[in-house]
Amino acid sequence: MGIARVAGELDREGSRVLWVLLCLSVSLVTGTLVGAAFLLPGTVGALISGRALLALGLTFVGGGLALIAILPGSEPDRRGVGGTGSGSTGTAVEGDARPDAPAGTGPVPQRVRAIRSEIDWGVTLPAVVIALLVAGGFALAPARTTWLVERLESLVLVTGRPLLHGAMFAFVLGVLWLALGASGRIRLGGPDATPEYSTPVYVAMLFSAGIAAGIVFWGPAEALFHYHSVPPFVEADARSDAAVVGALRTTLFHWGISAWSAYLVVALPVAYAVYNRGARFRVSAMLAPLLGTEVVDSRAGTVVDVLAVLATLGGLSTTLGFLATQFLTGIEFRWAVALGSTGRALFVAGITLLVVVSVTAGVGRGMRRLSVLNTAVFGAVLVGVAVAGPTLFVAEIGGRAAVGYLLEFVPMSLTVGEVSLAGDAAAEADGWLAGWTTFYWAWWLSWAPFVGLFIARISRGRRIRTVVLGAGVVTSLATLSWFVVVGGSALAVQHGGRADLLGAVFDVDAAVAGYPLFDALPFGVLLLIPFLLLVLTFFVTSADAAVRSLALLTADGDSPSVALQVALAASIGVIATALLLFGEGVLVQTAAVITGGPFAVLGLLGVGGLIVAVRRNDQ
């Protein structure tokens, strides 16, 4: 056994060296060609078409990101998921590879058999069957399936609106109570547990896992929509001075503490149940503080985990498909380079390959390094826009919007309609809520299973108060700073008449709002490349977290193999490509959002059960 393990380690190290050399070679070759095309446009540049240059540029960036992920280096110590509490299992959770699992080596048939034997079919098979039924419905009976999905969407976004809004408000109160009360001192994993990652790295991974590339595109775009079509409950005329502040305040509300609290009501109960009570690492463990650890292996627990798998697959696949569309739409808008359906599919394949590389490198290498890089680039773009943009204007409207967000947080959270409105005004208010706030709440809740599971996974050794501070307060401040600076600058440029961002948005897509913004800023072109890089790094890190969480949900154990994680990442890429080519992405996104309804109820049970458990057992 010892010789076999040493041989396996040598084989893995040899493979890693080959991958490093391959990524380095790809980056050097493509980087040289791109550099030569820009430096010698009359000779080399004339020989390379726009499509080829774009492909070379994306390959260069992808090779560089992959190289960062797989380079050898020191990694944090691996610790088990089981804490020092009663019933702790002590099984490994890092997921880089199980020491006894052959799933990452050997011939392909052997790997496939190993993956099949590793899967928990009680969770995976129902999720696959439901997904196939939905896909088959869209293919064979599109009209009837669309009608059913739309009815379910109305049930969640209209009928279930009071539940969603009330639950999101309760989540904020619940996690703040856990953080500020005596329960905040409880250490996940017991009093002797120590964190695996330093605090800056921990916060970088939290932020990178919980926010996808949508923040990049919607940063300059969302406030513009609310400025052009003022929300029914903002007392201002469209495109007025008052509309500027109201639009930014509404945007902050949609991306602030409420969203991150939805993640925490999954993360905290799961982490407590796993590390302090010895539960299995599943989303259904969020019910363990209330119903006991045996709920994970019950039928109710299986239903919760199946819903989590469906929400993660649907949400991540549609996000990847929309990412490709938005990214390449922006490229076409800015540089008039169109790739078509084949190019978009190849782009999805490239992003999927980056996710596979990050997952294979492990949390200690891939996720950790790319999260740190992502956070650094995010900060650089944020500072660059703040310096180059209309700083005083942004500071003024940003401050007023932030104060308004704090003062109006309770009424905005509990608004489910307006009894003082009637007729067309009431219908407008109802439609606006369903299309914006309620949709956002359902979308955050559909992401809560995998983001919450990942937050729990990397939080062993930290106090409950620290987790809330990192994954709720610090991440919210970073997100809100982005929308104040980038969104505020977009509003300033549009309101001041320096550029017509709204014209670009309505003529093309919301994804292009950043291009005329940067064109209107001094040295804005220097911010464009890191702005686009953020799209890639944000998606890779959030997808990395999702794949690892999916592996925990679908594996029969708490230490899924690398091969299973690679298979899941590839599956997401295939689904995203199919959605992109056959145009059903919007409907599948709607189907994913529908799962947010049940998780509103589960979140209430999770945070409520944790409050009761810590008061009963740990005070």
Beta bridge mates, 187: 463
Mean per-residue pLDDT, 537-562: 90
Would you place residue 619 in the very low, low, confident or very high pLDDT band (cuts 50, 70, 90)? Answer: low
C-alpha–C-alpha distance, residues 606 and 445, integer Å: 13
Q: Residue 418: pLDDT band by 50, 70, 90 thresholds?
A: low
Q: What is the pLDDT of residue 97?
A: 42
Is the predicted pLDDT of residue 89 greater than 50, yes or no?
no
Angle (CA) 294-297-298 rounded to 5° is: 85
DSSP type of residue 196: S
Do 602 and 163 touch, CB atoms closer than 8 A?
A: no
For residue 452, the number of C-alpha atoms closer than 13 Å in the C-beta half-sphere is 37
State mean pLDDT over 20-45. Answer: 84
Residues 6+ apart with CB under 8 A from 526: 384
13 band by pLDDT with thresholds 50, 70 and 90: low
- Predicted confidence (pLDDT) at residue 370 exceeds the cutoff of 50: yes
How far apart CA 81 and CA 458 sit, in angstroms, is 9
pLDDT of residue 279: 94
Q: What value does the mean pLDDT take over residues 342-353?
A: 88
> What is the C-alpha separation between 141 and 600, in angstroms, rounded?
30
| CATH topology (fold) of 79-87+120-414+444-617 | Amino acid/polyamine transporter I (1.20.1740)
- Does residue 295 contact residue 301 with C-beta atoms inside 8 Å? yes
| 306 vs 235, higher pLDDT | 306
- Residue 455 tokens, joined: 């937050």
pLDDT of residue 500: 94
Give CA–CA dist 506/492, Å, rounded. Answer: 18
Return the minimum-mean-pLDDT range out of 8-17, 56-65, 237-246, 535-544. 8-17
Q: CA end-to-end span of the chain, whole Å? A: 46
Place of tokens 């990847």: 320
Return the pLDDT at 93: 42
Say what percent of the chain tops pLDDT 90. 56
Q: What is the pLDDT of residues 261-288, one digit of tens each?
A: 999 999 999 999 999 999 999 999 999 9
Q: What is the pLDDT of residue 428?
A: 78
**Is residue 517 predicted with pLDDT exceeding 50?**
yes
Please tell me the predicted confidence (pLDDT) of residue 568.
92
537 vs 556, higher pLDDT: 537
As given in the structure block, the two tokens for residue 550 are 């999916």
Using alpha carbons, select from 446, 453, 444 the residue that is nearest to residue 544.
453
What is the model's pLDDT at position 149? 85
Dump pLDDT digits (tens) for 303-337.
Answer: 999 999 998 988 888 888 888 888 888 898 988 88
Residue 101 has pLDDT above 50, yes or no: no
Cβ within 8 Å of residue 482, ≥6 positions away: 215, 219, 378, 382
- Indicate whether 526 pLDDT > 60: yes
Residue 423 pLDDT level (bands cut at 50, 70, 90): low
The two tokens of residue 413 are 């959270």
pLDDT value at position 10? 44
Domain boundaries, the chain: 79-87+120-414+444-617
521, 486 in Cβ contact below 8 A? Answer: no
**Has residue 558 got a pLDDT over 70?**
yes
Give the mean model confidence (pLDDT) for residues 56-64. Answer: 90
